[in-house]
Amino acid sequence: MAEPMLQVRQLTKRFGGLTAVDRVDLEVYPGEVVGLLGDNGAGKSTLIKMVSGVYHPDGGQIFFQGREIRLGSPIDALELGIETLYQDLALAENLNVYANIFLGRERTKPFLGFIQVLDHASMHEESKKVLKRLEIEIPSLQSHIKTLSGGQRQAVAIGRSIYWNARLLILDEPTAALGVQEQRKVLDLVRVLRSQNIPIIVISHQLFDIFSVTDRLVIMRRGKKVAERLTKDTTPDEVVGLIIGSEEVEL
């Protein structure tokens, strides 16, 4: 098997007296979709926040494309190509669609030779292209996020994560706020990206979604990784059992 794109070894995170993530090992290979499952408080969000640079690990190592990395801040992760779609979307309501897609990485053009001014036109263009690629309908890219529906916001957030040519994509509850149609679109998108060999980690409570797009499942409980299964070798019932702990721990 090829080298894993992402590998975390014995990754640990503590908050005060609480160990949120306890010596977790995880690999993600190019072209595969890994589902990260667990009940509330299992540590899934905390784990991926360490991979995306929001939290600093208290123990363990992170390897990306074979090399160990230290993420000082989210920008480090973004520069490596690790894009994260957060559960709360992390959109700025007071800015418009393309401003959000380019948030933190705005395009500029020179003004009077030396001042860098925002290049609205090109950001608008590029955003239009990426949203079209996703077949997402948003009437005006200049409308503020505030005015968009839940599904449209999700679309913008997804657009942002895929625009930047992610080498690793992390999706935290991507179908949470969506209607059935839109959920399906998101899942199609995930399959498209997988076919482009981009590895994806999906966190979700929707077992139906998990079973329809993932190749492998990793289950966490109370900070520890308790099981790993190939999706095709397991069933929803078994998975639920592992999540809530009614089955024996088995790695």
Partner 1 sequence: MPEASVPVYRKNFRPVRWLGRNWAVLFLLLELAAFGLFGTNFFSPENLQNILVACLPVLLLAMGETFVIITGGIDLSIGFVMGFATVICAKFMLLLQAAGLPPGASIPLAALICLAIGLIPGLINGTLVARLKVPPFLATFGLYGIAYGFSEIISKNTPISGLPPIAGQIGNEYFFYIVPGKAVSFLVKPQDLIPEQMRSMISVLPILVVIFFVFVAIFAFMLKRTRFGQHTYAIGGNMDAAVRSGINVPAHLTWIYVISAFFASLSGVMFVLKYVTGRADAGSARMLDSVVAVVIGGASLYGGTGTVKGTIIGALIIATLETGMVNLLIPSHNRYIAIGVILVLAVLIDQFFPELVGRGE
CB of 172 to partner 1, least distance (A): 11
Find the binder of partner 1 among 78, 82, 171, 210 (CB under 8 A). 78
With residue 202 as reference, give the H or E element that holds it: strand 200-203
Find the binder of partner 1 among 74, 81, 138, 228 (CB under 8 A). 74
With residue 9 as reference, give the H or E element that holds it: strand 6-15
| 144: contact with partner 1 by CB under 8 A | yes
Cα–Cα nearest to 13, from 53, 45, 59, 54: 59
CA dist 123 and 205 (Å) reads: 34
The position carrying tokens 């690999």 is: 27
Q: Residue 61 or 73: which CB sits closer to partner 1?
A: 73
Q: Is the dihedral of CA 142, 145, 146, 152 positive or negative?
A: positive
Interacting residues of 217 by C-beta distance below 8 A, sequence separation 6+: 34, 35, 37, 210, 227, 228, 229, 230, 231, 234, 239
Q: Residue 164 or 211: which CB sits closer to partner 1?
A: 164
Q: Residue 109 or 191: which CB sits closer to partner 1?
A: 109
Q: Residue 169 or 210: which CB sits closer to partner 1?
A: 169
CB of 212 to partner 1, least distance (A): 28
Q: Which amino acid is at 229?
A: R
Find the binder of partner 1 among 96, 152, 161, 175 (CB under 8 A). 96
> Rounded to 5 degrees, what angle do the CA atoms 72, 153, 88 make?
45
| 162: contact with partner 1 by CB under 8 A | no
Find the binder of partner 1 among 105, 129, 132, 191 (CB under 8 A). 105
Find the binder of partner 1 among 61, 116, 196, 235 (CB under 8 A). 116
Interacting residues of 224 by C-beta distance below 8 A, sequence separation 6+: 22, 23, 24, 43
DSSP string covering 97-133: HHHHHTTTS--EEEETTTEEEE-HHHHHHHHHHHHHH
Find the binder of partner 1 among 68, 110, 117, 135 (CB under 8 A). 117
| 149: contact with partner 1 by CB under 8 A | no
| 177: contact with partner 1 by CB under 8 A | no
Using CB under 8 A, list all residues that contact partner 1.
Answer: 52, 54, 73-75, 78-79, 84, 86, 88-96, 99-100, 103-106, 108, 111, 115-118, 142, 144, 146-147
